[in-house]
Structure formats: C-alpha cells, structure tokens
Structure 1
Amino acid sequence: MDDRTHTADAEPGERVTVAGWVHEVRDLGGIAFLILRDRTGKIQVKFATDEMDDELVDAGTNASRESVLSVTGTVEEEPRAPTGVEVVPESVELLAPAEPELPLDPSGKVDADLSTRLDNRTLDVRAGESKAIFEIRAEILRAVREYFRSVGCTEINTPKIVATGTEGGTELFPLTYFGQEAFMNQSPQLFKQLMVGSGLERVFEVGPIFRAEEHNTPRHLNEATMIDFESAFIDHNEAMDVCEGTLLAAYEAVAENCQEQLEVLGYGDSFAVPDAGFPRLTYEEAIERINATGELEEQLLWGDDLPTEGEKALGADVGGHYFITDWPSEIKPFYIQDRDDDPQLSKGFDLMHPEMELVSGGQREHRYDALVEGFEQQGLDPEAFEYYTKMFKYGMPPHAGWAYGVERLVMTMLGLGNIREAVLFPRDRQRLSP
C-alpha cells in the first residue's frame, strides 16, 4: 500500500514520508532547498548544510531535476515556503535517477514545441498546464457518465473490429483478421442502434473510433474518443435536449470541481458555463446567415456542406453554442430519417461551438423498407449490412441519438490551439509513436 503523505496533506508537527519528483534545487550556501513535486502539489525540503550529515545533504541536493526521491522527516511551519510548510529531512532515498539533460523542461520555464512535447508525453504531463488539461478531461467524462445515468442510460461497449464500415468502404483502416479482411470501426452507430431495439432501450458509450481521413489540421485526428448516445422512443428534438444536457453537465462540473486546474490554465474566474436553451437554426437559416456575413468569397447554395470559415462566421454571429437542424437528406448518412412532410429534409442535426462542429445526430430510420432504400440511394449494398438490417424486421422502435468527440469538447472548452493537446498519445497521418 502507498503509505506516503501527499505534499498537499503535510501538516506542521507531523512526521511524514513524501515522495515525488525533484522540481528544483536551490543552494544558498549554508542552507539548501529541494522542491519536491507529486500529483497534489509541491513541498519544500530544507537542508541546513552545515549542521546535517553530508551524505543526507548530498542525497537531496545532488539529485538531478525530475529524479524520483522519497523523503522522511518532520513538517514545520515556514511562512516563506511556497505552501507555508517545509520538511526537515531525516532520510532521503533516491528511487529513480533522471539524466541531467532532459528533452524538455517540465517546469515550463523553457518552452517546447508541440511535436517535442508529444514525443515526450510522460515528461510533458508532469508540467502544470498539460496535467491540468487531462485532469479536466477526466472530470468531463465523469460528469457526462453521471448525467447519462441520471436520464436512465446503460453504458455499453461495442466492437472496434468490424466486417463492414459504418458509413461504407471509404476512409477505413483495413486489417487482416484470421485470413479475412476486416476494418477498424468508424463509429459504434449501427451497434448502438441494435441495442435500442433490445431491452436496454437507452444506451451510451465512451470509446475510440478510427477514420482514415488524410487530414493534417489542428482539429482532426485519425483516432478519437467519442461520446455516443442512443435512445428508443424519442425523436430528434428530444435527442437535442439530452445532448445539451450532457454539455452543460460537463461545463458545470469543470466550473465546480476544477478551479485549481482552470487557474493553472489562466482562467481564474473567467470560465463561463453556457446558458441553457441553445438556439436551433434550420440549415436554410444557417446558410442565409453565413451568406449575410459577407465572410465567404462565394455564396453558399442549398446542399453545400458548411466550410470551416462559414462555421466560424456563423458562430461569431450567434455568439454561443447552437444547433443546426433540418439538413438536406442527400448530405446526411443513410440511417438518418427523412421528414415525412418533405423527404428532401432530414431529421439530422449538428451541435455547433462558435468555432466548429461538436456533435452530429438525428432521428434514425427504424422502418425496414425505408432503411434498405436509404442504403441503395447512397450506393451501399444492404446485404453487406445484413447483421444490422435484419433486426429491423423484428420490432425496432423509433429512436434517435448523437455522438461527439471528447477531444473537440476539451479543445473548445479550454480554447486550445490544437486538438492534439487534448489527447495523450495522438494518432494522425504523421504520428504512430509513442
């Protein structure tokens, strides 16, 4: 068992053992200070070099930065110390030395470019800002899971190795599976739909997806973590309600539980939870408002996808999170249901941050004949998806759902310049290691 005292819990008068990384050593002549860092913070260790055993002093003051030490001693009050206390050591044990030349500076005093940081992610996450990002990411996932449970969802896990692509044969990573061709899954979409037809009815998943898109942008990854939701007996409007609820739950949890991390990232009291009641614009209204901004060189036409500069122009115009609804059927996947009163319009929606798309969702086509027709209209072979389509013959209820990427949520919430800052070990066109 871990019987050490965390640095943040050290109280005056206690005899403690603290362990962590050497953050800094300062030798002032006659007295020296070692700053030891663990996951809870930093603590000062004081060496009276003229009064203490030379071996003890050398063990503490000669350790190179980022070496791992265990220090046993008495905690004393010291108002001038960074945390108001310091440890007077009885013993120092070197648990793991670090080479004097480090590939980056975890203290943050010397900047490193993103590529160097990602190549040395273990050292990078020791730094305050990177550590704060991943602590906030963990809090987001905790809050989202808690919200899903509060609205009656069951967490599921679906296969990541599949026989067919969720959205056809493009942008797939192929692999050999015992002599057969298989693929890394693009989405749990089809599997979560199958589960709403089971006794579970309302499900969610947090897991990886893989897209073989040859992007090289600050907001795209080839492996991402998705938050997926699907529920029987709701429509696209109710699905948007749940979508907004999860996002607000994430922001509220970070605001309440991550003040220390937000301060490290420079937010102080400026971190804002979005107001509830996100506007819902139709696709037609969206392109009209984008065109009216005059930010695009060419006017958008009906059926166009929204370019990045168009999303940013509309986001600036709206000034907050918003939904785009009633997308043209032709640019939404086969499983999105068309509106009965106008088949050219779908019941698909996107949730937008002012900077970019966060969520894609909609009401699904639950009627077997219409679903098969949708496959054929998009040039897909229904027989290749027979494991999926056949279940729609056995009583598939109306259902709706959505999915959004954890990394984009973290990126937009914290204003990060590159999505790779929000994932520990990114996978993109250039990066397969570490």
Structure 2
Amino acid sequence: MQNRTYTADAEPGDSVTVAGWVHEVRDLGGIAFLILRDKSGKIQIKLEKDEMDEELVETGLDVARESVVSVSGDVKEEPRAPTGVEVVPEDIDVMAEADTQLPLDPSGKVDAELSTRLDNRTLDLRKDEVKAVFEIRAEILRSVRDAFRGLNATEINTPKIVATGTEGGTELFPITYFGQEAFMNQSPQLFKQLMVGSGLERVFEVGPIFRAEEHNTPRHLNEATSIDFESAFFDHTEAMDACEHVVKAAYEGVAENCQRELETLGLAEEFEVPEGEFPRLTYEEAIERINATGELDEQLVWGDDLPTEGERALGEDVGEHYFITDWPSEIKPFYIKDHDDDETLSTGFDMMHPRMELVSGGQREHRFEHLVAGFEQQGLDPDQFEYYTKMFKYGMPPHAGWGLGGERLVMTMLGLDNIREAVLFPRDRQRLSP
C-alpha cells in the first residue's frame, strides 16, 4: 500500500494515511473516537459529528470491530489521546468488513480458553501480549543464527522425509513415499554428523522435527523446532561452551531489541541475561542432589533416567541454567561416544533450565567399528543406516554437537505455562488443524 504510515510514526503536522484494524469505537455523543490498530501500535481517529461530513462520521461509527480500514487525514497533537496524537480524518475506507460475532475478543477484555485461541490463531495474534511472544521468538531465532555465524558455522537444511528413524523405535510418523514406507525425521542428527565429515566442518540448522510420542503435557509437541549445532574437532566440553554461548546470545538479543515486547508481557524489570558459566554437574552428582531434596517417593539409583519431579527439584536447588554431564552409556543413544578411560560413562550431556531440559548433546562416536557396535548393542540393524555408517569409513573427524528445543527456549525465557503458546499452529495428539 503506497504512502502508508505506521501509527507509531505519525507526528503532529503530518498528513498521513494509516491502515489497520478497528480496535474499538467510542461514541461520546457529539464526538466519537475510532481506535485504529496496526503492527506498530494504536492511534485515535477523532470524529466530530457537527463539524464533519455526515457520511464520513457514519462510516466511522458503524464499522464493526476488527474490520480493516484505511484513514487519511491530518495528525494533530492531543495530550489526552492514548499516544498523544490523533488523526482528523478526511477519508475512511472500509477495506474489509468483519463479522460482528467474533469467536474471541482480540482486545483481551474477555479471556478465552487456550483451545479457542489456537482454533482462531489469526485473531489471537491481534492481541498485543500474544504478538509480543512471537516477535520475541523471531528475535531469538535471529540472535541464535548470528551467534552460530560468529562461531564460523554454516547453516544447512537437511531432509525431513527419511528412510529410517534417527534413533529407531516407535516414535516415528510413517508416510507413504511413492509406494515405499518412509518417515518424518525425528532429528537432523545423522545428517549433520555427515556434514562435519564434509568440507563444511561446522554446521547449524533451525528446522522442524517430528516425534510420534503420545504425550499430552504442557511441555511436549509432536512437531517442534530444533536448533542444532555440530562441529568437527570439538569434544563435549567445547560443545557445551558453544551451547552456553548461543543461549546467552538469545537472551542478549531479546534484552537489546525487544524491550517494548517485554514491557507488554510485564517482564521488562525482571528479565535477566544469564551471567557467568553454567554449572556443570555430573549425572552422579545430579541424582545425589535430587535424592537429598526428599521430593521423590523412591531414591534414584545409577542408571535411572531423571523423572520430571526430579528435574524440577534439582532445578529449584540449582536455581539457574546448568548442565548434567557424564551420563551412563546405557541410557544415551548409539552415536554418543563413551569416555576413553571408562566405557560405562558417556560424553553425553543435557543442558537444563530450572523448569525443564532444553538441550541434549555430546561428543559423537567417529570410529566406524565402534559406531556399528553401538547400533547392535541398542538392537538396531546397521545395514538400514548404511548411507550414514559407510561415510565413517572415509575419514570422519572427532566431532560433537547438540540440539536445543526452540519452543522450550521461548517457553522458559518468558515463563509461559504451556509450550503451545510458543508455537503458531501446534501439532499434538489432538490438534491437526488449523
């Protein structure tokens, strides 16, 4: 739309055309106000019934909330207006009339259930608080990409339709691919490992992953955004350093570029960029600290995975982002390398927010014979993964990396109650549309 001015840019003395949605209409008798909302904010349109063309005033008064309009006129200073200025209109064009019966209230005056909001996501994002979440999400993704580039990593895009699952098992969505069985990829793990063996050496990807887990919790999705990193000639400690750097960069980007959105969400004063190094606890230390809290009915023993209640108790005890390292080899995937001096310990690590796990990573097994043995130990057929394993015969360097849950990062950063609030159109057991 040519010559359009955003409402936030309208200055006294300007002649402007603003366009957006009708937020509300206030009829005060001899005078009325139409509040117009666009991406940048809101502006007051002044309708003086005795001073203006009758048809112009009627158009402004009769238009339904959430209709799309454009308004041309002069900008005047008005200290009593919400933004200190108002537009005295010369023309009001109703570009798209809205139904008077809205499925939810975009003004936010009337609350709606999360399911109703997700069913009507377009309307939901007209609310400032919801829009702020996705502006922040966009800044997080921009910041992590910049951080990866600062680490000299190359962005890649790997297939989402694959012949075999990354980790096997039942957590796969099968599809028909030209008469063959195929699957939606659980992770870019195997492909990004292949890329560190190429001339690229250090890579990252931001893209969807698919898990056919029958979860129905506030922190699980069946389609999620994974932020992945992999580097040749890195060990697990260097991978953790990179992980810490990228997560801090996400917080720094939001702090620097999203103050208005943080204010909208009521987080501006309490939002903090993590400082210092994230604590690194061994798995053994982690279960000892969880047991010491007394929050679990049964004490954890070596080899147990950490239950949600245990993660929560440990998170409250640590009180900041932290790593859990040196997991038992038996509970980490086949591609995670064991410590050279103790094969019962893996180089796998998790990076945790006090509320939940955000990252899983580790050093990878780069030796062909050990990799194949790892497949067999976990009951997987190495022949099904030949496209992957054979490349380890041709000079695969030591390497390490990790995957970070994008929605979980948004959720924990902003204190959201449900992970579905951090994704535009969630996919879970109940939701396939919109």
Distance 2:352 2:213 in 1: 21
Q: 3-state SS of the aligned residue for 2:237?
A: helix
Identify the residue that residue 19 of structure 1 maps to in structure 2. Answer: 19
Q: 3-state SS of the aligned residue for 2:23?
A: strand
Aligned length: 434
Q: 1:283-362 maps to which residues of 2 (within 5 A)?
A: 283-362=283-362
With over 3 angstroms needed to count, the CA separation of the structure-2 counterparts of 1:220 and 1:194, relative to structure 1, is same
Cα deviations across residues 278-327 of structure 1 (Å, max 9, x unaligned)?
00000000000000000000000100000001001000111100000000
Q: 3-state SS of the aligned residue for 1:108?
A: coil
Shift of 1:331: 0.4
Shift of 1:169: 3.6
Identify the residue that residue 114 of structure 1 maps to in structure 2. Answer: 114
Give, as a single letter, the amino acid of the residue that structure 2 aligns with 1:308: T
Q: 3-state SS of the aligned residue for 2:139?
A: helix
Unaligned runs of 5+ residues in structure 1 are none
Q: Are 1:60 and 2:51 counterparts?
A: no
Distance 1:137 1:42 in 2: 22
Is contact 1:248-1:276 (8 Å) kept? no
Q: Are 1:45 and 2:52 counterparts?
A: no
Is contact 1:361-1:401 (8 Å) kept? yes
Distance 2:58 2:336 in 1: 68
Distance 1:2 1:396 in 2: 55
Identify the residue that residue 432 of structure 1 maps to in structure 2. Answer: 432
Distance 1:404 1:267 in 2: 23
Shift of 1:207: 0.1
Cα deviations across residues 36-91 of structure 1 (Å, max 9, x unaligned)?
00000000000101111111011111111000000000000000001100000000
Q: 1:261-276 maps to which residues of 2 (within 5 A)?
A: 261-276=261-276
Give, as a single letter, the amino acid of the residue that structure 1 aligns with 2:203: V
Give the alignment's Cα RMSD to 1 decimal.
0.6
Shift of 1:244: 0.3
Distance 1:266 1:378 in 2: 48
Give, as a single letter, the amino acid of the residue that structure 2 aligns with 1:174: P
Cα deviations across residues 219-264 of structure 1 (Å, max 9, x unaligned)?
0000000000000001000000000000000001111111110111
Is contact 1:74-1:89 (8 Å) kept? yes
Identify the residue that residue 156 of structure 1 maps to in structure 2. Answer: 156
Distance 2:108 2:46 in 1: 24
Q: 3-state SS of the aligned residue for 1:317?
A: helix
Identify the residue that residue 388 of structure 1 maps to in structure 2. Answer: 388
Distance 2:69 2:162 in 1: 47
Q: 3-state SS of the aligned residue for 2:400?
A: strand
Q: 3-state SS of the aligned residue for 1:375?
A: helix
Q: Identity of counterpart residues, as a percentage? A: 80
Q: 1:225-236 maps to which residues of 2 (within 5 A)?
A: 225-236=225-236
Q: 3-state SS of the aligned residue for 2:149?
A: helix
Runs ≥4 in structure 1, deviation > 2 angstroms? none
Distance 2:323 2:34 in 1: 53
Distance 2:142 2:99 in 1: 37
Q: 1:30-41 maps to which residues of 2 (within 5 A)?
A: 30-41=30-41
Distance 1:397 1:60 in 2: 68
Q: 3-state SS of the aligned residue for 2:274?
A: coil
Shift of 1:270: 1.1
Q: 3-state SS of the aligned residue for 1:395?
A: coil
Give, as a single letter, the amino acid of the residue that structure 2 aligns with 1:433: S
Cα deviations across residues 104-130 of structure 1 (Å, max 9, x unaligned)?
001111000100000000000000111
Higher mean C-alpha deviation, range 299-308 or range 268-277: 268-277
Give, as a single letter, the amino acid of the residue that structure 1 aligns with 2:56: L
Give, as a single letter, the amino acid of the residue that structure 2 aligns with 1:195: M
Q: Are 1:98 and 2:59 counterparts?
A: no
Identify the residue that residue 206 of structure 1 maps to in structure 2. Answer: 206
Q: Are 1:417 and 2:417 counterparts?
A: yes
Shift of 1:2: 4.1
Distance 1:338 1:263 in 2: 46
Q: 3-state SS of the aligned residue for 1:34?
A: strand
Q: 3-state SS of the aligned residue for 1:174?
A: strand
Q: Are 1:124 and 2:124 counterparts?
A: yes
Identify the residue that residue 78 of structure 1 maps to in structure 2. Answer: 78
Cα deviations across residues 147-182 of structure 1 (Å, max 9, x unaligned)?
000110000000000000000142100000000000
Shift of 1:3: 2.5
Give, as a single letter, the amino acid of the residue that structure 2 aligns with 1:178: F
Identify the residue that residue 187 of structure 2 maps to in structure 1. Answer: 187
Give, as a single letter, the amino acid of the residue that structure 2 aligns with 1:377: Q
Distance 2:261 2:113 in 1: 22
Q: 3-state SS of the aligned residue for 2:285?
A: helix
Is contact 1:175-1:182 (8 Å) kept? yes
Cα deviations across residues 335-364 of structure 1 (Å, max 9, x unaligned)?
000111110000000000001000000000
Identify the residue that residue 4 of structure 2 maps to in structure 1. Answer: 4
Is contact 1:363-1:401 (8 Å) kept? yes
Distance 1:284 1:187 in 2: 28
Cα deviations across residues 380-430 of structure 1 (Å, max 9, x unaligned)?
000000000000000000000000111000000000000000000000000
Cα deviations across residues 170-214 of structure 1 (Å, max 9, x unaligned)?
210000000000000000000000000000000000000000000
Q: 3-state SS of the aligned residue for 1:245?
A: helix
Distance 2:367 2:194 in 1: 13
Is contact 1:5-1:17 (8 Å) kept? yes
Distance 1:275 1:295 in 2: 28
Q: Are 1:402 and 2:402 counterparts?
A: yes
Identify the residue that residue 175 of structure 1 maps to in structure 2. Answer: 175
Distance 1:187 1:61 in 2: 54
Unaligned runs of 5+ residues in structure 2 are none
Shift of 1:268: 2.8
Give, as a single letter, the amino acid of the residue that structure 2 aligns with 1:390: K
